[in-house]
Amino acid sequence: MSRRGWQIAFALACVVNVIVLYSPDSAPGNDIPHADKVVHLLLFAAVAYTGTMLRLPLGWLATVLVLNAVASELVQHFWLPQRSGDVFDAVADVTGVALGAWLATARPTRPT
């Protein structure tokens, strides 16, 4: 994929991340056990993966994503009455960051 393609993918991943984490209503699918943890993991993995493929500094990217993981749970707990903060969601978020960054760095070729 071209650099422009990765930029678009990264922007979309960021927008979806923010919408899902900070929307006032809980996401559907709460009837499936641990589905929300999988969603959290995938949201953060997508941002970490696309950001790493863009060659954003990994330390900076991971720090911002971990801070977002913590902030989103605090916002959900204190300011979104239909949502609740969950430490295990934050764990899934951080796991997603690690997974996305690992998948991107383990690829045999990355864009230049």
Q: Over the stretch 7-29, which tens digit does the pLDDT of each residue have? A: 999 999 999 999 999 988 765 55
| Per-residue confidence (pLDDT) for residue 32, from 0 to 100 | 80
Torsion, Cα of 11, 16, 17, 23 (10° steps): 140
Query: To the nearest whole number, what is the mean pLDDT of the chain?
Result: 91
| Per-residue confidence (pLDDT) for residue 28, from 0 to 100 | 54
pTM value is 0.89
Asked if residue 110 lies in contact with residue 61, where contact means CB atoms within 8 angstroms, the answer is no
Which stretches of the chain score pLDDT less than 50? none
| Per-residue confidence (pLDDT) for residue 82, from 0 to 100 | 85
Helices 35-53 and 58-79: angle between axes, nearest 10 degrees: 150
Beta carbons within 8 Å of 62's beta carbon, 6+ residues apart: 48, 97, 101
| Per-residue confidence (pLDDT) for residue 109, from 0 to 100 | 65
